[in-house]
Amino acid sequence: MKIKNSTKNQPKMTDQPPSRTLTPLQIPPGSSPPSSQSRPSVPKSSLTAGTTPSSSGSFASSTFAMSSLDTTTSTQTALSSVMSCTQSSPGAKSGDIFTQAQRSVSPESQALAKMFGQTQQIIQAIHGTYDILEKLTKFFAKAGPAIRAADKLEELRRKLQGQQKEYEAQLELLEEKLSKQLQEAIKRDLRDKALELVKKRIQEEIANSVNKEIPAELHNQTARHESQMLEVGTSVYNSEARAQNTGICTATDNLHPLWLSSANKAHSGFPATVRVLADKSNEDIETLLRAYNIVLPATTREDKINYFLNFIGVNLRVIPTPPTASTSKEGKKLSSTLVISGGQ
């Protein structure tokens, strides 16, 4: 790791010794001081290039290299003098020796040593920072897909939120539209029902008012009047039908049916022609007579038919067929009723 040197970072060289108190060098008694052979050799690169050139390459510290060389030389000279003093006076104390060595080291050398210590601390901090950066790089390399997935999820969430807002706006418009239509339908339906209820209520009120104002006897008369009107209508219709039946001259002419007094319609067994009536059984003829309230004074079938023809306005009459020469049962079966005109 090269050291970047600049005038800003260089310590200020003064003649005063540093204020920090140095720990005395402890030399055990009887031990010989280190010789010149055991001293660590200083590489030439550290002597010739004490600093790293700046990023622009314009600041080459040759002066600083020379001063470092001089400082190293002076330090070696001081150590040599200390060792010579130690060898010449074996009984000297270690404190005196350290004091003499400390005085021999120049303040520049002490400042340079302090700067070297700070530089090593900075280098260690930089190494620690590089380790942290390497760990962070590995972490982010592993967490990259997760981060991209999170970004995609966030983008998808924003899209979904936008779609949700659009759907909510559409739902609000639809709800408003349906609400208006529903209100109109309810108003229309309620209006119709209200009018119907009002009409019904008015009819009930009118009926109640009329019933209160009109006496019961008048109600009975009104009911009888309705039945009388029905009878009158039936009588008028039957009179017209009788008038049309008077023109029938043959047994095959169509008859005009008469209505029953209880209903405005003819009986289901009313004959279509005189011939059909003449061929009916005695029971069917009696049923017709009872339906039209015709009294039955006669006993024979032909008399009953003539009564009915007279009732409906037909001038034709029927007589029994004369018996044939044979009196067998087959001859009686072959006999039938003859239809003749009323003038014969």
Looking at residue 303, its pLDDT comes to 87
Kindly report the pTM of this predicted structure. Answer: 0.36
Looking at residue 262, its pLDDT comes to 76
Looking at residue 312, its pLDDT comes to 92
Q: What is the pLDDT of residues 284-328, one digit of tens each?
A: 988 998 888 888 766 788 888 888 999 999 988 888 876 554 444
Looking at residue 324, its pLDDT comes to 53
Rounded to 10 deg, the angle between the 301-312 and 216-245 helix axes is 110
DSSP states of 202-219: HHHHHHHHHHHHS-HHHH
SS3 224: helix
CA-CA distance, 235 to 258, in Å (whole number)? Answer: 9
Looking at residue 76, its pLDDT comes to 53
Looking at residue 102, its pLDDT comes to 59
With a cut of 70, list the residues of the chain below it in pLDDT.
1-105, 219, 297-298, 322-344
CB-based contact 282:310 (threshold 8 Å): no
Looking at residue 244, its pLDDT comes to 92
Q: How far out from the chain centre does Cα 209 lie?
A: 58
Residue 199, classified by CB atoms within 10 Å of its CB into exposed (0-12), middle (13-18) or buried (19+), is exposed
DSSP states of 34-73: P-TTTSPPPPHHHHH--SB--TTS----HHHHHHHHHHHH
Looking at residue 105, its pLDDT comes to 66
> Nearest 5°: CA angle at 35, between 31 and 41?
135
Looking at residue 190, its pLDDT comes to 85
Looking at residue 55, its pLDDT comes to 39
Q: What is the pLDDT of residues 158-213, one digit of tens each?
A: 999 989 999 999 999 998 888 888 888 888 888 888 888 899 989 888 888 877 77
